[in-house]
Structure 1
């Protein structure tokens, strides 16, 4: 197959691993920066240009789209979709997954466990919002934040009101979420490919840090999921229309709770922690899909 990896930086770990895995399995692979592409729209002729030349003869696309270029990246993916090229991440699923509010709405609609979350706009509602999630401590999240940025733990009602008022003053969209104390600063990243979890790691936040993101100093270790955790992770990815996803969940007294679903999950942390060749699993999935299509 001719596989295109959409990535702004070919030297990134995840991009290199996917390229290596594809070549090891006999596929021709190109890394193309989506931010250096442009699309031309005319009747019955959707075209994508890179380095001022049309991109042709593509069998499959692996999008690695950063959050800062979601809109532009989705446009490039959509153009491939218009050409009937298989892509591991659809344009609609990308946009959907980048919106924390829509993600939680879709998960709750599918009966998937999530921390109780409130989305509000008017500052007069603050006291009631805080009460809805069980009071402080609580979590406040910017809807567009990534890698733990824009996530605040408010230990007291006074601190929560201060943060909420500050975010409101910035006209920022944010969520107020219950704090799952029994998680003890840890979460689980389940890497979903197709209809199964191919690897999982437990991430523990550094000392005095409630966020467990590896980018924030968290440490990863391999973990065997329960059947319920695995089922919920796959169901969460499918609810958002994602074939490949990093599903983050908390272990709580009422069962696994999904906190986030990442549509361009990194490979370095989970491959290092588990020793599993996740990149090869992604390429095998593409091979299976191409046989069906």
Structure 2
């Protein structure tokens, strides 16, 4: 019987290549073969098969897609198609919801998980936007529904500022506007890493001086931070609600309402970089172990289903 075969596409910057090697080694110890570098940008689909770098993707037992910054519509289209045939981590349906800020907030809110108050308005609904900024206490945050790293996020401090921004926004090809209430917080957050329903790591991020965004790509810095049971429980519940196998949940504390708020759920949360590990942020080992366990479990489930069909 051939060894189970897993495909991986892992980011390479920030120590990602070393993480990939550790995953490959740990999976080999379990008798699982791996093929790496499976960037669907290089794939072609024809005759009922998706081929990528010589690998027939549908014949894989699991595909781990773990690269946030290079996803194109072509890659996502193939990712979705592949997820209908073999197990993918994350599964595409959950991935597509979590990649959309509105759909994420809408689903979490419907299940009683606190998110920022939000409003989705048609691009010509100026009255709706003005109503939102009044309802939200005079401040709101405009966000693209997709994207990552804080790109395109704008804080609007007044109705007058909204009036000034609207001529620019109206010239874009956006179909709608997604806005959130600006939350009064201490400019720090929690990043909780969840794998297969369990917390595997946590650290804090702090916005740079004279800014409010904590994203590393926006100039934020990381620091060692221990989560409370309440924070972990919220992160686990948010991940399960979205149906993700792997997630990084960002939470902040609303000082006005005195409650934790899920700000965002990331589908490809980064491992700690070597520089961050030097600061004492040491969760990579536990996260790798949990991901290997998850991949192994996913592979075995697929093989069991195949055996049952044959029988």
- Normalising by structure 1, we get a TM-score of 0.86
Q: Which residue of 2 aligns with 1:126?
A: 129
Q: Which residue of 2 aligns with 1:264?
A: 268
CA distance in 2, matches of 1:65, 1:282: 15
What is the SS of the residue equivalent to 1:260?
strand
Q: Structure 1 164/193 Cα, relative in aligned 2: closer, same or farther at 3 Å?
A: farther
Q: Which runs of 5 or more structure 2 residues have no equivalent in the other structure?
A: 303-311
Q: Structure 1 237/163 Cα, relative in aligned 2: closer, same or farther at 3 Å?
A: farther
CA distance in 2, matches of 1:206, 1:168: 31
Post-superposition offset of 1:274 = 2.0
Q: Which residue of 2 aligns with 1:24?
A: 26
Aligned pairs for 1:1-293 (under 5 A) are 1-7=4-10, 10=12, 13-25=15-27, 26=29, 27-31=32-36, 32-40=38-46, 46-51=48-53, 54-55=56-57, 57-66=59-68, 69=71, 71-83=73-85, 85-121=86-122, 122-136=125-139, 138-172=140-174, 173-181=176-184, 183-252=185-254, 253-268=257-272, 272=277, 274-276=281-283, 277=285, 278-293=287-302
Contact 1:63 1:88 in 2 (8 A): yes
Residues 16-68 of structure 1, C-alpha deviations (whole Å, 9 max, x = no match):
4133223134243222111101223x5xxx42212466347522211124366
Q: Structure 1 118/209 Cα, relative in aligned 2: closer, same or farther at 3 Å?
A: same
Post-superposition offset of 1:187 = 1.4
CA distance in 2, matches of 1:143, 1:266: 21
- The number of residue pairs the alignment matches comes to 285
Post-superposition offset of 1:168 = 3.2
Residues 134-168 of structure 1, C-alpha deviations (whole Å, 9 max, x = no match):
212x3221222320111112233322332345323
Post-superposition offset of 1:169 = 3.2
Aligned Cα RMSD in Å? 2.5
Contact 1:118 1:133 in 2 (8 A): no
Q: Which runs of 5 or more structure 1 residues have no equivalent in the other structure?
A: none
Higher mean alpha-carbon deviation, 165-174 vs 216-225, is at: 165-174
CA distance in 1, matches of 2:35, 2:55: 14
CA distance in 2, matches of 1:107, 1:167: 28
